[in-house]
Chain A
Amino acid sequence: MKQENNEKILLQGLARNDKKAVETIYRDNYGMVQALIINNNGSTDDARDVFQEAMIVLYEKARSGTFELHCQIKTYMYSVSRRLWLKKLQQTKRFTTDFGNPDSVVPVEDDLEDHLKRDQEFGMMEKAILGLGEPCKSLLEAFYIEKKNMQEIAADFGYTNAENAKTQKYKCLMRLKKIFFSHYKNGTQ
Chain B
Amino acid sequence: MNEYNDITILDAVERYIRGEMNPDERLHFENLRKTNGEIDQLVVEHTLFLQQMNRFSEWQKFKNTIHNVHSELADKGEIKDGLKSKAKIVYLWNKYKRVTAIAASIAGITALTISILIWSVSPTHSNADYAKLSRVVYANEVKQDIIKQNVNDLMYNTPDVKKQKGVFINYKTAATGFLIDPKGLMITNAHVVKQSENIKVFNSKGDQFNAFVVQLDISRDVAIIKIDDPKFKSFGSLPYGIRKSTSELAEPIFTLGFPREEIVYGEGYLSARTGYNGDTLSCQIAIPANPGNSGGPVFNHEGEVIGILTGKQTEADDVVFAIQSKYIYQAVDNVKKNPIYQNVKITSKSTNLAGLSKQQQVKKIEDCVFMVKGD
Q: Tell me, yes or no, whether A binds B.
A: yes
Chain B 58-100 interface residues, beta-carbon cutoff 8 Å to A:
58-63, 65-70, 72-73, 78-83, 87, 90-91, 94-95, 98
Q: Contacts A27-B78, A56-B63 known; A43 to B10 CB distance under 8 Å?
A: no
Residue of A17, A30, A38, A43 near B65 (CB, 8 A) is A17
State whether the Cβ of B261 lies closer than 8 Å to any Cβ in chain A. Answer: no
**Contact status A17-B57, CB under 8 Å:** no
* B-side contacts of A144, CB under 8 Å: 50, 53-54, 57
State whether the Cβ of A121 lies closer than 8 Å to any Cβ in chain B. Answer: yes
State whether the Cβ of B11 lies closer than 8 Å to any Cβ in chain A. Answer: yes
Q: How far is the CA of A95 from the CA of B53 in the complex (A)?
A: 38
State whether the Cβ of B56 lies closer than 8 Å to any Cβ in chain A. Answer: yes
- B44 → chain A, closest Cβ, in Å? 12
Q: Contacts A122-B56, A126-B56 known; A94 to B66 CB distance under 8 Å?
A: no
State whether the Cβ of A114 lies closer than 8 Å to any Cβ in chain B. Answer: no
- B1 → chain A, closest Cβ, in Å? 13
State whether the Cβ of A134 lies closer than 8 Å to any Cβ in chain B. Answer: no
**Contact status A121-B52, CB under 8 Å:** yes
**Contact status A31-B65, CB under 8 Å:** no
A23, A56, A63, A173, most chain B CB atoms within 10 A = A23
Q: How far is the CA of A17 from the CA of B87 in the complex (A)?
A: 32
**Contact status A59-B62, CB under 8 Å:** yes
- B90 → chain A, closest Cβ, in Å? 7
**Contact status B79-A170, CB under 8 Å:** no
Q: How far is the CA of A63 from the CA of B59 in the complex (A)?
A: 11
Chain B 243-278 interface residues, beta-carbon cutoff 8 Å to A:
none
* A-side contacts of B72, CB under 8 Å: 23
What 0/1 pattern do residues 93 to 122 of B give for CB contact below 8 A with A?
A: 011001000000000000000000000000
Q: How far is the CA of A30 from the CA of B66 in the complex (A)?
A: 12
Q: How far is the CA of A41 from the CA of B81 in the complex (A)?
A: 16
**Contact status B11-A52, CB under 8 Å:** no
Number of chain B residues whose Cβ lies closer than 8 Å to a Cβ of chain A: 40
**Contact status A48-B91, CB under 8 Å:** no
State whether the Cβ of B45 lies closer than 8 Å to any Cβ in chain A. Answer: yes
Q: Contacts A40-B94, A56-B63, A167-B7 known; A26 to B57 CB distance under 8 Å?
A: no
Q: How far is the CA of A34 from the CA of B68 in the complex (A)?
A: 18
**Contact status B73-A26, CB under 8 Å:** yes
* B-side contacts of A151, CB under 8 Å: none
* A-side contacts of B52, CB under 8 Å: 121, 125, 180, 184
State whether the Cβ of A71 lies closer than 8 Å to any Cβ in chain B. Answer: no
State whether the Cβ of A72 lies closer than 8 Å to any Cβ in chain B. Answer: no
Q: How far is the CA of A144 from the CA of B55 in the complex (A)?
A: 11
Residue of A39, A55, A173 near B90 (CB, 8 A) is A39
Residue of B7, B10, B58, B67 near A17 (CB, 8 A) is B58
- In the complex, which residue of chain A has the Cβ closest to the Cβ of B50? A144
State whether the Cβ of B49 lies closer than 8 Å to any Cβ in chain A. Answer: yes
Q: How far is the CA of A144 from the CA of B46 in the complex (A)?
A: 12
State whether the Cβ of B6 lies closer than 8 Å to any Cβ in chain A. Answer: yes
* B-side contacts of A43, CB under 8 Å: 91, 95
State whether the Cβ of A177 lies closer than 8 Å to any Cβ in chain B. Answer: yes
* A-side contacts of B50, CB under 8 Å: 144
* A-side contacts of B73, CB under 8 Å: 23, 26-27, 30
**Contact status B69-A26, CB under 8 Å:** yes
* A-side contacts of B55, CB under 8 Å: 118, 122
* A-side contacts of B81, CB under 8 Å: 44, 48
State whether the Cβ of A1 lies closer than 8 Å to any Cβ in chain B. Answer: no
**Contact status B7-A22, CB under 8 Å:** no
**Contact status B6-A170, CB under 8 Å:** yes
- Which 7 interchain pairs have the tightest Cβ spacing? A145-B57, A30-B79, A144-B53, A170-B7, A125-B56, A41-B94, A26-B69
Chain A residues near B (Cβ < 8 Å): 17, 19, 22-23, 26-27, 30-31, 34, 38-44, 48, 52, 55-56, 59, 63, 94-95, 118, 121-122, 125-126, 144-145, 166-167, 170, 173, 177, 180-181, 184
Question: Can you identify 22 A-B contacts, CB atoms within 8 angstroms?
Answer: A17-B65, A19-B68, A22-B62, A23-B73, A26-B70, A26-B73, A27-B73, A30-B73, A30-B79, A38-B83, A44-B82, A48-B70, A48-B81, A95-B98, A144-B54, A144-B57, A145-B60, A145-B61, A170-B7, A177-B49, A181-B49, A184-B52
Supply 5 further A-B pairs (C-beta < 8 A) apart from A22-B62, A31-B80, A38-B90.
A17-B58, A27-B73, A43-B95, A56-B59, A184-B52
